[in-house]
């Protein structure tokens, strides 16, 4: 059994500014840094987390930074999971104008500014974004399914490693810092298997926390012993923002 904590990044410059001023990879606003500190304290008090993953976008890394510096053991850092990027990818331009794919931060830039973030072993040089065009929602669905499959495998691996399913009061926790539209899509795929949104993307607030539990059925006498039959995904919390004061809530 694992509990997955899905945290949307804090307010970025793109969230605060009109679409005509959007940037391919914006930093956080001053409010965003405050939100990141607030969610970092909350996560520190709620931990520990067996695994920590973060998108390669700057706004996600800046959101994860305060928790990393407060967490113990701090040296473990975050693993960059490049498939956690926002729907659309890293791009310049805005609709209805042409949108051009951008490379995103290079591995050297990540190591310079976020030395605690561990790039994937295969990411040796250049920017993280391998897309050559703007990603449509339809194209993002297979990516969300790959993340879903990886999380399901984590639940199965956890059961095998521990020998028996942990009690519901003490499951292993997995922390993911990602993006509003992608979190909404991933929740939909985890909970319903349908491509339609489980929640509207705009209802996922900056630094909100949504939690799902993937548990494993230990009854091997069940008639269908496939992996899908063994796994159950349950929504525990959606869009929780108790760590934010009312004036600090944004989307």
Confidence at 47, pLDDT banded by 50, 70, 90: confident
Whether the per-residue pLDDT at 71 is higher than 80: the answer is: no
Give tens-digit pLDDT for 50-67.
999 999 999 999 999 999
Whether the per-residue pLDDT at 74 is higher than 60: the answer is: no
Whether the per-residue pLDDT at 169 is higher than 90: the answer is: no
Structure tokens at 16: 């605060």
Q: CB-based contacts of 1: which residues, under 8 Å, 6+ apart?
A: 155, 158, 159, 165, 166, 168, 171, 172, 213, 214, 215, 216
**1 compared with 162, residue with greater pLDDT:** 1
The 10 Å CB-count burial string (b at 16+, else e) for 33-60 is bbbbbbbbebbbeebebebbbbbbbbbb
Give tens-digit pLDDT for 182-203.
999 999 999 998 867 777 666 7
Instruction: Indicate yes or no: pTM above 0.75.
Output: yes
pLDDT at 57: 98
Return the percentage of the chain with pLDDT > 90, whole number.
74
The pLDDT mean for the chain works out to: 90
pLDDT at 70: 84
Whether the per-residue pLDDT at 163 is higher than 80: the answer is: no
Tell me the domains of the chain and their CATH numbers.
2-248 (3.40.50.1240)
Whether the per-residue pLDDT at 160 is higher than 90: the answer is: no
60 φ, ψ (degrees, to nearest 5): -75, -40
Tally: H helices and E strands in the chain:
7, 9
pLDDT at 154: 94
Give tens-digit pLDDT for 200-246.
666 799 999 999 999 987 655 445 455 555 899 999 999 999 999 99
Confidence at 31, pLDDT banded by 50, 70, 90: very high
Give tens-digit pLDDT for 83-101.
999 999 999 999 888 899 9
| Separation of alpha carbons 166 and 125, rounded Å | 40
């Amino acid at each position: 059994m694992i509990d997955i904590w899905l945290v949307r990044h804090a307010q970025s410059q793109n969230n605060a500014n009109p679409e005509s001023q959007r940037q391919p990879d914006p930093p956080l606003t001053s409010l965003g840094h405050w939100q990141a500190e607030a969610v970092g304290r909350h996560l520190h008090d709620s931990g520990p987390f067996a695994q920590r993953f973060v998108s390669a976008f700057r706004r996600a890394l800046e959101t994860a930074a305060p928790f990393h510096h407060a967490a113990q053991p701090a040296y473990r850092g975050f693993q960059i999971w490049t498939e956690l990027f926002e729907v659309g990818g890293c791009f310049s331009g805005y609709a209805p104008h042409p949108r051009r794919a951008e490379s995103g931060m290079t591995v050297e830039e990540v190591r310079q500014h976020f030395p605690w973030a561990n790039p994937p072993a295969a990411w040796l040089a250049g920017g993280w974004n391998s897309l050559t065009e703007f990603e449509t929602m339809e194209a993002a669905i297979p990516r969300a399914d790959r993340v879903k499959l990886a999380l399901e495998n984590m639940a199965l691996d956890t059961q095998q490693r521990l020998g028996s399913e942990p009690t519901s009061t003490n499951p292993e926790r997995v922390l993911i810092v990602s993006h509003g539209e992608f979190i909404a899509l991933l929740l939909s795929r985890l909970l319903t298997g349908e491509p339609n949104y489980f929640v509207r993307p705009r209802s996922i607030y900056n630094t909100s926390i949504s939690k799902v539990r993937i548990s494993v059925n230990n009854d091997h006498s069940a008639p269908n012993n496939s992996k899908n039959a063994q796994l159950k995904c349950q929504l525990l919390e959606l869009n929780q923002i108790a760590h934010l004061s009312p004036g600090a809530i944004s989307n």
